[in-house]
Structure 1
Amino acid sequence: MKCTIIISVYKDVDSLELILESLSNQTFLPNEVLISEDGNSEEMLTYIQEAKKKFKIFEITHSFQEDIGWRKNIALNKAIMSSKYEYLIFIDGDCVPFDDFVENHIKQASKKIVLAGKRVELGEKVTKSIKERKLSVSKLTNKYWFYLPKLIKDKTRHLEDIFHISYNSSLSFFIDKKVNYIIGCNWSCFKEDILTINGFDETYTLPSVGEDVDLGWRFRGLGIELKSCRFNANLVHLYHKKRFDSSQGIINNAILKKNFDANKFFCDNGIIKRGIYNND
């Protein structure tokens, strides 16, 4: 089975470099790395041109659009349609995978199943050390027991999700596979399954809910179950200041409730446009 890993980015080339370094050293290499840019930054374009020369171990493709505000869902739908392979893994451009991240997604993949993982949210000081190349993500995640005091002192959030148990470990049997919702920075599915729900709902024009929580109940409504890949398909979230507030969540939750009450699992404003969203 071949896979495309889709990375949602916005201008942050330093973090993208760390992600591509991690992906180039995976135990199971992705076939395609698709950089889904919600914008059209010259710096990003220049960087990707250089990255294609540096990381020849996999194919790098770039999808972009006009930078006129938060339109992540539109960018992701474009990425889905331009992706070349049957299995899709979604991460954000501020999240760096563990060394066996791709393997743990691929080896647990199944049709009509969405794999949903978590993330460790690093603090400011540890993130700075990583970006200044004083500490590698690989070293941190492979020897996390050694770094626990430093991570605790740096106020790491969701620290429990740095613990790692491979999918093929006998201990993985004891991990709870139930999951309530998708976190948009770490999940995967077959391309045909996300097409079943018509992709991301482009009605959401603010971050916080529309690119992840919305997906989970729509998948389930059409018979596609969520399964946890927590503690095996791990990644770390690099620190940055919060980019959205609670008011945006209120707006998005109103959209979510309206669609939920109407049992609208196949969204009207997704990859296919229906009703008022169809310009034909």
Structure 2
Amino acid sequence: MTSELIISTYNSPRALLLTLLSVARQDVRPGSVCIADDGSGPETAAAIAAVQARYPDLPIRHVWHDDRGFEKNVILNKAIATSDADYLIFIDGDCLIHPGFIARHLEVARRDRFCSGSLIRLDDATTKSVTEVDVLEGRVFDIGWLRRSGALRRFTAWLKAAPLPKPVLAALEHVYPVGRNWCGGNGSAYRDAILAVNGLDETMKYGGGDKEFGIRLANSGVKGRHLRFTAPLVHLDHPRGYKDPEKIRAHRLKIAEARRTGKIWAEAGIRPPEPAA
């Protein structure tokens, strides 16, 4: 089984650099890395080139399109369509992944399953303080460091930092009462399963696109498996100027429709609609 890690990004070169450094120190690296770039400027390309120079044995490809506003689903579909890998793992370019992250996603991969994990969120001040050394030496996943940063105020956040043996955490995942929704910042599935539902809905912008995609996967027979506590990921804080309440309300209607109708296929997805006769 070949694998690729798809990282979505937009004009956040510092965060992307830190993310890629966390990829470089994985216990099991993905077969390749794809940067799904929603129209970033040259600083992002420079950050990718810097990591490639430091880690020439880490294959990275850069999929880019013009900046037309928030079109994450569009660039993700382009990355999926051009991938040669059997299994795809998705994170955002402001996420630092635990050394065992890729290995865990691959360990539980099944053709009738998608996997979806959780995030440990850093605040703005801690995000600005994170250094390359913090990532490379693993401090960002140290329980004491995370506690001092204020990221582990809740018991569930502490569990997300993987403080217990993996078999214990895996057992907790099976019984923990949480929805098996797709999380684009920590998710994975076989590429064939994604193509079978025509990828993500490109008409959906920020707010709900992940959930709608996961519902269609489940409707197709690919059910969710939550990696809530065994695939740790630290999320760097950032503003969300692209958040649009009106679009979010419209997306909720699409989510409800997908649930109600058992919808599988995205009309505006990887394969464009057939032209009218």
* 2:96 match: 96
* 2:47 match: 47
Contact persistence 2:162–2:169 (CA under 8 A):
no
* 1:249 match: 248
Runs of 5+ in structure 1 lacking a partner?
A: none
Aligned residue pair count = 273
* 1:189 match: 189
Aligned counterparts of 1:160 and 1:41: Cα–Cα separation in 2? 37
Could you tell me which amino acid in structure 2 is paired with residue 125 of structure 1?
A
Aligned counterparts of 1:81 and 1:107: Cα–Cα separation in 2? 24
Q: Is it true that 1:208 corresponds to 2:207 in the alignment?
A: yes
State how 1:224-263 maps to structure 2 within 5 Å.
224-243=222-241, 244-263=243-262
Percent identity, aligned pairs only? 27
Cα deviation, residue 54, structure 1: 2.0
Runs of 5+ in structure 2 lacking a partner?
A: none
Contact persistence 1:122–1:157 (CA under 8 A):
no
Aligned counterparts of 1:48 and 1:32: Cα–Cα separation in 2? 13
State how 1:10-159 maps to structure 2 within 5 Å.
10-130=10-130, 132-133=131-132, 135-136=134-135, 138-141=138-141, 143-144=142-143, 146-152=144-150, 159=157
Aligned counterparts of 2:27 and 2:244: Cα–Cα separation in 1? 37
Aligned counterparts of 1:31 and 1:120: Cα–Cα separation in 2? 26
* 1:270 match: 269
Cα deviation, residue 70, structure 1: 1.1
Aligned counterparts of 1:215 and 1:223: Cα–Cα separation in 2? 13
What's the TM-score once normalised by structure 1's chain length?
0.88
Could you tell me which amino acid in structure 1 is paired with residue 183 of structure 2?
I
Aligned counterparts of 1:182 and 1:87: Cα–Cα separation in 2? 15
Q: CA RMSD in A?
A: 2.6
Could you tell me which amino acid in structure 2 is paired with residue 263 of structure 1?
G
* 1:57–1:155 distance in 2 versus 1, CA, 3 Å: same
Moved more, 158-167 or 73-82: 158-167
Runs of at least 4 residues of structure 1 off by over 6 A? 153-158
* 1:165–1:79 distance in 2 versus 1, CA, 3 Å: farther
Contact persistence 1:4–1:87 (CA under 8 A):
yes
Equivalent position SS for 2:89:
strand
What's the TM-score once normalised by structure 2's chain length?
0.89
Moved more, 109-118 or 173-182: 173-182
Q: Is it true that 1:173 corresponds to 2:171 in the alignment?
A: yes
Could you tell me which amino acid in structure 2 is paired with residue 223 of structure 1?
G
Among 162, 165, 175, which residue is 1:164 paired with? 162
